[in-house]
C-alpha cells in the first residue's frame, strides 16, 4: 500500500466556544509532519479526530487508507498514539504495562522494548506512580514505539523533557524514519524540535490551518529585509510583504515569498536580508493571519 498515511479533507468540529473548521491535513509515508500552534489552537482536538476518539461534524478523515471513525479498529492496529494526558496505571509497574501490551499486540517487539528501557534509562520494576514527569513520557513512548506501528501520532511528545531526554527521544523518532514505510505526526510548540526533524509543517491557530508546506520551502520563502531610507527617499511598492515596522529611517519588512529579484526591487537602501527561524516565521505567520481575518 502506497497511499497517504493521513488524509483530512474539509473537517469541521463544533464546540460551544470553539470551532475547528476547514481542516485539511496530509501525511505521506516516510515523513515527519510537525503540527505547530499556540495553546488552545486545536492541536489536540485534531489529533483526537485522527484517532477516532471524537467524530467530526463534517468532512472526511482517512488513516492508513481506512475511514475514520467507522474503520478505526482496523486502522489503529498499526497506529501508536501518545499524549500527555494519557496516564499509565499508577499502581502497576512499567514491566506489567509491557507485558500487557505484548498480550494485546502480536507485533510487540520485546527485544526493541528492552533496548528502549536501557536507552531511556527506565526501570521495568518501578511503579508508574513514582515515575518523574519525564520518565512517564518516556515510558509512554516506549510502549507505543515497541509495537512498531507504521504511524505514530504524538501529542506534545517532548513537553516536560529535559534537554538530554529530548535528545534521546528525538533520536528514537529519527530511527523510526530509517524505514520509509513509517511516518510520524507530532504536535509541539517547541519550534526548535519541529524545525530540526520535520519534513513538512502545518501551522494552526484558533481552529484554522494557517499554512501547510514542506519545511525547506517555509525556511526559503520567509525573509526579514532591513532597509535604511534616507530622508525623502520612498520605498517602492513591493509584493508579498506581510509585515512592516518603521522606526525613523529604519524599516523592517517581512516577506513570505522571497526571491532574489526582491533585493533589486527594494533598491540601494537594503542594509540586510535575513533568514528567519521557524519560531519567527510561526509568530509572523499567525499575526499576519489574524490581521487578515480582522481579529
Partner 1 sequence: MYSGINISQTDARPMYLQILEQIRARVAAGDWPPGRELPSIRALAAALNVSVITIKRAYLDLENEGVIVTRHGKGSFVADVNGLAGELQDARLEAHLTEVATLGRQLGLSEEDLAARLRRALKDLDKK
List the one residue out of 228, 215, 203, 232 whose CA is nearest residue 275. 215
Q: Quick one: 177 or 235, whose CB is closer to partner 1?
A: 177
Give Cα separations from 151 to 64, 80, 180 (angstroms).
Answer: 8, 6, 11
Q: Cα separation of 198 and 200, whole Å?
A: 5
Least CB distance to partner 1 at residue 282 (A): 16
CB 183 within 8 A of CB 26: no
Q: Is the dihedral of CA 46, 51, 53, 57 positive or negative?
A: positive
Residues that bind partner 1 (CB under 8 A): 30-32, 167, 170-171, 174-175, 177-178, 180, 192, 196-200, 214-216, 219-220, 274-275
Q: Quick one: 60 or 175, whose CB is closer to partner 1?
A: 175
Least CB distance to partner 1 at residue 278 (A): 11
Q: Quick one: 72 or 195, whose CB is closer to partner 1?
A: 195
Least CB distance to partner 1 at residue 34 (A): 9
Torsion of CA 59, 62, 65, 67, to 10 degrees: -70
Q: Quick one: 22 or 28, whose CB is closer to partner 1?
A: 28
Hey, which residues does 36 pair with through a beta bridge? 188, 203
β-pairing, 241-247 vs 250-255, is antiparallel
Least CB distance to partner 1 at residue 283 (A): 17
Q: Quick one: 155 or 172, whose CB is closer to partner 1?
A: 172
β-pairing, 183-188 vs 200-205, is unpaired
Give Cα separations from 149 to 95, 141, 217, 266, 274 (angstroms).
Answer: 20, 12, 29, 51, 40
Least CB distance to partner 1 at residue 281 (A): 12
Residue pointed to by grid coordinates 506534545: 156
Least CB distance to partner 1 at residue 216 (A): 5
For 16, the grid coordinates are: 460551544
Q: Quick one: 6 or 278, whose CB is closer to partner 1?
A: 278
Count of residues for the chain?
295
Q: Quick one: 34 or 69, whose CB is closer to partner 1?
A: 34
Least CB distance to partner 1 at residue 196 (A): 6
Amino acid at each position: 500500500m502506497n497511499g497517504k498515511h493521513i488524509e483530512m479533507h474539509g473537517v469541521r468540529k463544533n464546540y460551544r466556544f470553539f470551532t475547528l473548521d476547514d481542516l485539511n491535513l496530509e501525511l505521506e509515508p516516510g515523513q515527519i509532519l510537525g503540527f505547530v500552534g499556540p495553546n488552545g489552537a486545536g492541536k489536540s482536538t485534531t489529533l483526537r479526530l485522527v484517532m477516532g476518539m471524537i467524530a467530526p461534524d463534517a468532512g472526511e478523515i482517512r488513516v492508513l487508507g481506512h475511514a475514520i471513525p467507522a474503520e478505526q479498529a482496523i486502522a489503529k492496529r498499526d497506529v501508536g498514539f501518545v499524549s500527555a494526558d494519557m496516564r499509565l496505571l499508577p499502581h502497576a509497574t512499567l514491566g506489567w504495562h509491557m507485558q500487557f501490551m505484548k498480550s494485546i499486540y502480536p507485533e510487540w517487539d520485546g527485544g526493541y522494548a528492552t533496548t528502549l528501557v536501557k536507552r531511556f534509562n527506565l526501570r521495568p520494576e518501578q511503579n508508574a506512580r513514582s515515575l518523574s514527569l519525564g520518565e512517564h513520557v518516556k515510558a509512554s513512548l516506549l510502549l507505543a514505539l515497541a509495537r512498531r506501528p507504521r504511524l505514530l501520532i504524538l501529542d506534545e511528545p517532548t513537553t516536560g523533557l529535559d534537554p538530554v531526554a529530548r535528545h534521546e527521544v528525538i533520536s528514537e523518532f529519527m530511527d523510526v524514519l530509517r524505514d520509509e514505510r513509517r511516518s510520524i505526526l507530532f504536535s509541539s510548540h517547541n519550534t526548535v524540535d519541529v524545525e530540526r526533524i520535520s519534513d513538512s509543517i502545518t501551522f494552526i491557530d484558533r481552529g484554522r490551518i494557517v499554512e501547510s508546506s514542506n519545511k525547506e520551502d517555509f525556511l526559503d520563502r520567509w525573509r526579514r529585509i532591513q532597509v535604511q531610507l534616507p530622508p525623502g527617499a520612498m520605498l517602492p511598492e513591493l509584493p508579498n510583504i506581510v509585515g512592516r515596522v518603521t522606526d525613523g529611517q529604519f524599516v523592517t519588512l517581512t516577506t513570505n515569498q522571497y526571491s532574489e529579484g526582491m533585493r533589486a526591487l527594494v533598491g540601494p537602501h537594503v542594509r540586510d536580508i535575513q533568514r528567519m527561524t521557524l519560531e519567527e516565521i510561526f509568530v509572523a505567520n499567525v499575526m499576519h493571519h489574524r490581521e487578515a481575518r480582522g481579529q
